Structure 1
Amino acid sequence: MSNTELFKSHIEQGYTFKNDYIVLGTGILDLEPVHETHVKIPLKTLNRHGLIAGATGTGKTKTLQVIAEQLSLKGVPSVLMDLKGDLSGLAMPGEKNAFIEKRMAMIGLAYDPMGLPVELMSISQEKGVRMRATVSEFGPVLMSQIMDLNATQGGVISLVFRFCDTHHMPLLDLKDLKKVLQYIMNEGKEDITKEFGGISSASVNTIMRKIIELEQQGAESFFGERSFDVEDFVRTKDGKGLISIIRLTDIQNRPKLFSTFMLSLLSEIYETFPEQGDSDKPKLCLFIDEAHLVFSHASKDLINKIESIVKLIRSKGVGVFFCTQSPTDVPDNVLGQLGLKVQHSLRAFTAKDRKAIVKTAENYPISPFYKTSEVLTSMGIGEALVTALSEKGIPTPLVHTLLRAPISRMDILDSSEINQLVNASSLVKKYNAEIDRESAFDILEKKISRAEEAAAVSKPVAKVPATRAGRPAKEASMFEDLSKNTMVRQMGRTLFRELARGILGSITGKKR
């Protein structure tokens, strides 16, 4: 049996499934595509998460696009974090050309360009469905983790939430949170101390600075109403899964906001979706492009929270896929949970790069047909090493894969196309209306105003006894003391005039 026949047999045994699947491409052996060696991913295991990694320009984003397309065609909705702004083309059909037709012929698949159902969303000022969440929905633990607070400071945040719950004051945005912190250190300090005990002003000041840091990264546009309902992600249109593209191009330099949003979204999905267990296909798939931004600027507690949710969320039928330049960008505890791995080419320019490549190669199954560390640096654009999980949860053979071309546009939408897509959205009408109901800020402002008015009305007018000359006793005493020290007063005035003249003269450049 030839090496090619052995390779075909190897792929056939590893990639034969009973249930439905998606096709990523075809196997490559000795730098040539091999027919009838389709690399497949069972839908049943796509809630086991995944990784798409590779150097800049190797085709990671197009691989993400291909997987989202194929999921949509199978009726599985997905959410895409678009930090570079190059995924909106999913809404429009691709264009045939000689290069794409040749590639698809080598893979052994037909090329049928089409656009997929897309919903554009935003957590900032980008056009699309506005996604918001209230501070109350975050809760004290998550807010503390986002701001990287210590135990004492976290206790203050818990006290604030408890105080607002007890007094029926909604915490909707960061303005509410700041107002409550100011209140408990000033007008309400006495009441708070009686009810909850003393609070350190140093802790409150630290929390205020952390809130300002969040505001500087644009978080005030994210906190508020109306809160986004994650069930709106799980929709289909004409039998195709809806692709929700969250446009994040204007928060690339605000990693704190991005990691905050990402964790809140995962938490909300985990807490909202019912337990599903193993099913024939996932309920929803999340793709996080530029995933290193989630981890590189997140606190240790925040990373631990993300790790915990990634481990548990698969039971809700949700798959999470990280797209980044190197597998080392993802913490080991998360990396160990990933079933699908699509590894594009890596660059080996430095000794550190070469060490990273050796480490990366060790994360993949051993193949009798490749030396993984060598393949990692020699693959072309649109090629990747792929391994997934079989329906029984066993890693499939590692395959150097020629990936299929996206069926949707491999470019962005222009402004008129974006406007057309946004105007046709039913969710825009639901979520983009501004809501400003009474919250903690308004309630405390009214309470403080009433207290000040009551104090002004009830303040008694002090009666001061008069002296023989008709002056109040206190004023007369001051007058007598000053009269006894006329010389001292005169010397003081003279000294003050001389000092002032000298200072002003030096400032204006005039000489006396």
Structure 2
Amino acid sequence: MDDAIFLGGGGDGYAEKQWLLLRYANRHGLIAGATGTGKTVTLQILAEGFSAAGVPVFMSDVKGDLSGLSMPGDSAGKLHQPFSERAVKIGFDDFGYGAFPVTFWDMFGQQGHPVRTTVAEMGPLLLSRLLELTEAQEGILNIAFRLADEQGMALLDLKDLQAFLVWLGENRNEVSLRYGNIAVASVGAIQRRLMVLENQGGTHFFGEPALELADLMRCDADGRGMVNILAADRLMQSPRLYATFLLWLLSELFETLPEVGDPDKPRLVFFFDEAHLLFNDAPKALVEKVEQVARLIRSKGVGVYFITQSPGDVPDTILGQLGNRVQHALRAFTGKDQQELRRAAMTYRTNPRFDTEQAIREVGVGEAVTSVLEKKGIPGMVERTLIRPPSSQIGPVTAAQRAALIRTSDLFGKYETPLDRDSAYEALKRIAEEAAREAEAAAAAEARAAEEEREFKAARRYQADEPASRGRATTSRSRSREPEGFGEALGNAVIKELKGTTGRRIVRGILGSLFRGR
């Protein structure tokens, strides 16, 4: 079928053939199952099917196995040998080995093209989630974003945000009159969380050139959809950064892509591996945002597929929107496991030929319980299915093969060199330097005035007996007794303060806080 992806079959108690219809593929999906039951291979064959149909794919590679999509499988390989027999059994008549077009990405720029976004594009909600901020701290971050926008100061990277928070803390009294109380302790807590993020590699993620979504939605010369693979093995060491990045990408797709209704096939399919990381300890506002994106992004032609161990990892409000499901085995060793198994079975349309709960417990590696949307988007009856074999290589490619694919990519050189445009950090640096120059000028002017005063007093001693001199001195003294205007008095007070120890400390504080170590 040209308008569907073949999932598998088997006969003799299994489904004859199971097809995922492309026109319903943007209605999202779920791939679930215990570790080692075949989720990665299912993810691989879906990526192959979408690519062959001209649909670009984005997926994260947590274990490094998915890089094999870029190389053809080998019938002589140990992992591929059983598939020849399975292909015959499930009626996969046109099975053959082949590679697929792959673009590698890596937030750290080591195993693929660098992936970046700006602090402003991330926004205060997702950044607060990433930094694990309290409600009060999140409020201050919102104020910082608002003021930076009003002042025309671009927040592009972490040093921009860090510098602006310093400015916000120093001007908190004036800002608090309009936006509410800004506690120094809260600003300091945000700065500490930013330092932790920086130590985890966040500086690689925030900056320019930022990722262009169009580069994820390309096809090769043969019309096959590009398979975009994000290297996530190192990224998984910072699970909150991983989850926040993927949610940001979904949000960007939602906000950028136009409405297309129900297309004949998706414009992009997004696979979210280790999906439980997105929802663990997530605040209600964040879960609501994921639910909104999942519900509405379908009309943008984007399908979202969550990969996790148990359907219970996904909130019910989102689970109910996942129409296409591949459920691998769940092992019910504990009471909680049995509850999860029972709950998973209840989400399927029952099949009178077998007990769904028992089938989920008994299916072996490479087998699954499947349910896909049929005509008019109705959930299909649950079926036991032997998953079809992949055409590409099972397992990772070598480091040399990956490096060669990166160098020959048509995107090579576009993202590799970071940019550092004029932004909030540079603007605040100019303000600090101007304040320092004005303080130095004020101090120099005061020093000159003091020196002139000393010279004048010294000259009076030698001219005390001269009548004309006494007249001039009297005139000078009378002038000095004239009352100062308010503006003159205020100016003299400011100059005196800037000249003194306090003024020098202010200038050092501005410069030191913003630019120490830069």
Partner of 1:247: 231
Deviation per residue, 1:329-371 (Å, 9 max, x gap): 1111111110011000111222222222112111111110111
Partner of 1:236: 219
Partner of 1:104: 87
Q: Does 1:308 align with 2:297?
A: no
Deviation at 1:101, TM superposition (A): 1.2
Deviation at 1:224, TM superposition (A): 0.5
Contact 2:11 2:90 survives alignment (8 Å): no
Deviation at 1:27, TM superposition (A): 4.3
Name the SS of the counterpart of 2:395 in structure 1.
coil
Q: Does 1:220 align with 2:199?
A: no
Q: How does 1:5-404 map to 2 (within 5 A)?
A: 20-30=3-13, 37-97=16-76, 98-109=81-92, 110-186=94-170, 188-189=171-172, 192=175, 199-237=182-220, 238-404=222-388
What CA distance in whole angstroms lies between the structure 2 residues aligned with 1:334 and 1:263?
14
Contact 2:126 2:244 survives alignment (8 Å): no
Deviation per residue, 1:393-433 (Å, 9 max, x gap): 10111110011000000011101100110001122211111
What CA distance in whole angstroms lies between the structure 2 residues aligned with 1:307 and 1:130?
29
Q: Call closer, same or farther: CA 1:427–1:288 in 2, change over 3 Å.
A: same
Partner of 2:509: none
Deviation at 1:28, TM superposition (A): 4.4
Deviation at 1:389, TM superposition (A): 0.8
Q: Call closer, same or farther: CA 1:200–1:42 in 2, change over 3 Å.
A: same
Name the SS of the counterpart of 2:18 in structure 1.
strand
Partner of 2:480: none
| Residue identity in the other structure for 1:289 | D
| Residue identity in the other structure for 2:65 | D
Name the SS of the counterpart of 1:210 in structure 2.
helix
Deviation per residue, 1:187-227 (Å, 9 max, x gap): x4465457656522233223223323332332221011011
What CA distance in whole angstroms lies between the structure 1 residues aligned with 2:19 and 2:354?
19
| Residue identity in the other structure for 1:365 | R
Deviation at 1:21, TM superposition (A): 1.0
Name the SS of the counterpart of 1:213 in structure 2.
helix
Name the SS of the counterpart of 2:362 in structure 1.
coil
Deviation at 1:156, TM superposition (A): 2.2
What CA distance in whole angstroms lies between the structure 2 residues aligned with 1:294 and 1:28?
37
Deviation per residue, 1:122-152 (Å, 9 max, x gap): 1124321111100111233433344344554
Name the SS of the counterpart of 1:75 in structure 2.
coil
Contact 1:131 1:228 survives alignment (8 Å): yes
What CA distance in whole angstroms lies between the structure 1 residues aligned with 2:85 and 2:440?
85
| Residue identity in the other structure for 1:306 | V
- After superposing the two structures, state which structure 1 stretch, 47-56 or 135-144, moved more: 135-144
Gaps (5+ residues) in structure 2?
A: 455-518
Deviation per residue, 1:66-120 (Å, 9 max, x gap): 0110111111111011111110000111112542211100011132100000000
Deviation at 1:20, TM superposition (A): 1.4
Q: Does 1:447 align with 2:431?
A: yes
Q: How does 1:421-440 map to 2 (within 5 A)?
A: 421-440=405-424
| Residue identity in the other structure for 1:302 | L
Q: So what's the TM-score if we normalise by structure 1?
A: 0.82
Name the SS of the counterpart of 2:377 in structure 1.
coil
Name the SS of the counterpart of 2:270 in structure 1.
strand
Name the SS of the counterpart of 1:386 in structure 2.
strand
What CA distance in whole angstroms lies between the structure 2 residues aligned with 1:274 and 1:103?
42
Contact 1:28 1:400 survives alignment (8 Å): no
Contact 1:107 1:404 survives alignment (8 Å): yes
Name the SS of the counterpart of 1:240 in structure 2.
coil
Deviation at 1:307, TM superposition (A): 1.8
What CA distance in whole angstroms lies between the structure 2 residues aligned with 1:196 and 1:49?
41
Q: How does 1:454-465 map to 2 (within 5 A)?
A: 454-459=438-443, 460-461=446-447
Name the SS of the counterpart of 2:414 in structure 1.
helix
What CA distance in whole angstroms lies between the structure 1 residues aligned with 2:128 and 2:418?
27
Gaps (5+ residues) in structure 1?
A: 1-16, 467-512
Name the SS of the counterpart of 1:409 in structure 2.
coil
The number of residues matched between the two structures is 444
Name the SS of the counterpart of 2:303 in structure 1.
strand
Q: Call closer, same or farther: CA 1:425–1:301 in 2, change over 3 Å.
A: same
Deviation at 1:299, TM superposition (A): 3.4
Contact 2:356 2:382 survives alignment (8 Å): no
Contact 1:146 1:299 survives alignment (8 Å): no
**Identity of counterpart residues, as a percentage?**
42
Contact 1:342 1:387 survives alignment (8 Å): yes
| Residue identity in the other structure for 2:72 | P
Name the SS of the counterpart of 1:241 in structure 2.
coil
Contact 1:148 1:301 survives alignment (8 Å): no
What CA distance in whole angstroms lies between the structure 1 residues aligned with 2:124 and 2:59?
28
Deviation per residue, 1:435-464 (Å, 9 max, x gap): 111221122122112212211221234969
What CA distance in whole angstroms lies between the structure 2 residues aligned with 1:41 and 1:106?
19
Q: Does 1:416 align with 2:400?
A: yes
Partner of 1:7: none
Instruction: Provide the aligned C-alpha RMSD in A.
Output: 2.2
